[in-house]
Structure 1
Amino acid sequence: MNNEILRGYSQLYKESLLNNVVPFWEKYSPDQTYGGYYTCLDRTGKVYDTDKFVWLQGRQAWMFALLYQNVEPREEWLEISRIGIDFLKKYGSDQNGHFYFSLTREGRPLVQPYNIFSDCFAAMAFGKYGLVTGDTESTDRAVQIFSQILKRRANPKGKYNKVFPKTRDLKNFALPMILSNLCLELEPLLDSKLVEETIDNCIHEVMGDFLDDKTFLIYENRTLDNGFSDSFEGRLLNPGHAIEAMWFIMDIAKRRDDEELLERAVKVMLAQLEYGWDSEYGGIFYFLDVNGNPPQQLEWDQKLWWVHLETLIALAKGYQFTRNPRCWEWFEKVHSYTWEKFYDPTEGEWFGYLNRRGEVLLDLKGGKWKGCFHVPRALYQVWKTFDLCEDESN
């Protein structure tokens, strides 16, 4: 691929990040009265609900600290990160250090700490903010949270787990997938032996336990002995989850200079994409049943922002690391669909939810599940990845 094309894509993603997406969240999201961020924003940025979802608080605090560290040391970006960090320190967790799922605007608990991903993104936020500012309270907190996450791995929901035990015990793909990225995020703060052990475990689970070696598809749930469960949960595929995990694994493989793992991650990523692509309307399905049965999730055929943006990161990295032409062909195909359907040049930021035909289903810019994370992170990652591709070509 010639440098002019790479440079064009790099510039597009950079400009959209800095001139479209980041200004939207800067303007509408910070709560200057009570701290933290509003994430329930309509198309124009108007707040339509003031509840604060803890994992989205952590994600946004991390994002603005990253921008300050790696793009430009703008004090306003660091300040936005700080108000999220302070809010999490004051209100985010219970007396055991476990992070709630949601809070009122003022910081009063709404939903118990049943979801370990609140903890994962709080750890990311504290770690990044602490490393950027030298705030040892934040870095110490990040290490402490990470330790608690590892202790809860076998039963992440703890007493909030509603599954009846020993009837159909399953393990879920999401936590090892997240840990494969979180561990690298916190690596400067962690003991090197713990880092390597955690990475080894993540590779084993992500590329072994949940991966079908015959189809190269990744399952969302497996039995405790890594088998197939012929049930709604056991047949479930989430192409976006699996593809996102593959760029985490690619980063690990590059870090370890493991060419075999790198090539395997690219192969698995492409398998999910080819299986999950909607050949009739375009875009990637949200959920699928591996046997072709009706999925349990009624939203199975929706097209979601994060699925497509994470796919663009994975394809860009796959191309950078291997120069596999299929990565480039798919990148251009997914890029065209994503920018045509999700990008909002009028009001800023990106739409999150489309129906199967690619029409906007909800025109919100943020809510309970969509915050300041997947869009800016993807724009940043693709921008920087293609910059590196260009450098490597010179």
Structure 2
Amino acid sequence: MNLTFAELALQYKKTLLEDVLPFWQNHSLDEQEGGYFTCLNTQGQVYDTDKFIWLQNRQVWTFSMLYNQLSPDSDWLEVARLGANFLADKGRDSEGNWYFALNRAGEPLVQPYNIFSDCFAAMAFSQFALASQQDQAKAIALQAYNNVLRRQQDPKGPYNKCYPGTRPLKSLAVPMILANLTLEMAPLLDAAQLDQVLDQTVQEVMTDFLDAERGLLYEAVGPDGAHVDCFEGRLINPGHGIEAMWFLMDIGHRRGDTALIQQAVDGILKTLDWSWDPQYGGLFYFLDAEGHPPQQLEWDQKLWWVHLETLVALVMGYRLTGREECWRWYCKVHDYSWSHFADPGQEWFGYLNRAGQVHLQLKGGKWKGCFHVPRALFLCWQQFKQLSADQMLSS
């Protein structure tokens, strides 16, 4: 790759504004029932009308965030409003817990079986509150956030399948998403609560889930942070680990904590060294920490979000630290991602087989919506824009 920082900024900008956002604006809006279609084929045609709360809220967040941070485009606000109104009316049970899935009309299909629907609701409505200036949106965001805090030690509640007490495990997903969510909620929280939750999440991720000796983040550990020798306890999810590290870099940057930033970069580089496929390129989806066969049969697939979160982490790490290892890895992951996942003029593909061939002919589904691609494109654009400006000042 021989592009300048300015050329890279333009590449990310054009792909976001001319390819990816128009795809979702043209194909995903359900003007009849409200909310969004996310199950879209390569031509943008709807192949399933069920509505998954994670993805509904993520699309509200995306268009609200761009309205707030990029441009007060009234069309973007109306896209966000279409989802926010649908979700405010249909998305929760009588106790305020967010469902996992609804049918097209908004009738519940899947119970609120964990707190991640609540996490994305808090993210979505905090940004929508800023964009719309609606008090109701702010109240919904705070209610969902408090739900997450209340249930973080027992995220599945009555829907937990595990037999109590036999093999208690806690998941990296909870503190990592709470770190990012709390930064998202910052305008709505008082300073003391903000600092308390951030301190807690940084401590838990970097002490319990990061193996200091190996430099890898484990997906699940015992309640005291100890490794547990079982499928779940040996699981490494490279994408989650790398994404968690850029969340913590973001916290470190906002707090001026250079030690935390360097520690997070170390974790990213260790994870990349360990999880890059030496035969075909790209990052494995799941790995076993001891080299045993992973439980997940899709372990060797290459997924869009893993690579996009890695691009964000590497360009952020390079801008904040100047470490050449970040730039070398960025170029490697950039070349793989843009030559395999990107689809010129369209939304990106999501799922490749190990050899890098498109595995599923879809642009959206039950798990892939309007979130990872636009967020990563926006964040990388902003990082390269800053790097270009810094380069011009120093020349």
TM-score w.r.t. the length of structure 1 is 0.98
Instruction: Report Cα offsets for 1:88-108 as digits up to 9, x if no partner.
Output: 101001011100000000000
Identity rate, percent: 54
The match for 1:266 is 265
Matches of 1:255 and 1:73 in 2, distance apart? 25
- The answer to whether the 8 Å contact 2:115/2:152 transfers is no
1:379 aligns with 2:377: yes
Which residue identity is paired with 1:307?
V
1:369 to 336, 351, 367: 367
The match for 2:155 is 156
The match for 1:236 is 235
1:218 aligns with 2:214: no
Structure 1 position 269, deviation (Å)? 0.8
Matches of 2:97 and 2:54 in 1, distance apart? 12
Q: Secondary structure at the match of 2:331?
A: helix
Instruction: Report Cα offsets for 1:174-225 as digits up to 9, x if no partner.
Output: 0100011000001010111111010001101111100100010000000111
Matches of 2:131 and 2:79 in 1, distance apart? 13
Matches of 1:141 and 1:92 in 2, distance apart? 11
The match for 1:320 is 319
The match for 1:43 is 42
Structure 1 position 14, deviation (Å)? 0.4
Structure 1 position 38, deviation (Å)? 0.3
Which residue identity is paired with 1:260?
A
Structure 1 position 40, deviation (Å)? 0.2
Q: Secondary structure at the match of 2:300?
A: coil
1:276 aligns with 2:302: no
The match for 2:334 is 335
**How is 1:1-394 mapped onto 2 (pairs within 5 angstroms)?**
5-345=4-344, 348-393=346-391, 394=393
Which residue identity is paired with 1:276?
S
Instruction: Report Cα offsets for 1:123-152 as digits up to 9, x if no partner.
Output: 111100001221111011111211111010
Q: Secondary structure at the match of 1:217?
A: coil
Matches of 1:368 and 1:200 in 2, distance apart? 33
Which residue identity is paired with 1:232?
F
Matches of 1:92 and 1:168 in 2, distance apart? 33
Which residue identity is paired with 1:273?
L
Matches of 2:44 and 2:387 in 1, distance apart? 35
Which residue identity is paired with 2:68?
Q
Matches of 1:248 and 1:392 in 2, distance apart? 23
Matches of 1:283 and 1:67 in 2, distance apart? 29
Q: Secondary structure at the match of 1:32?
A: coil
Deviates more, 1:79-88 or 1:138-147: 138-147
TM-score w.r.t. the length of structure 2 is 0.98
Matches of 1:242 and 1:110 in 2, distance apart? 31
Matches of 2:95 and 2:245 in 1, distance apart? 33
Structure 1 position 115, deviation (Å)? 2.3
Q: Secondary structure at the match of 1:361?
A: coil
Deviates more, 1:381-390 or 1:99-108: 381-390
Query: How many residue pairs align between the two structures?
Result: 392
Matches of 1:287 and 1:103 in 2, distance apart? 29
Matches of 1:287 and 1:178 in 2, distance apart? 19
Matches of 2:15 and 2:114 in 1, distance apart? 32
Is there any run of 5+ residues in structure 2 with no aligned partner, and where? none
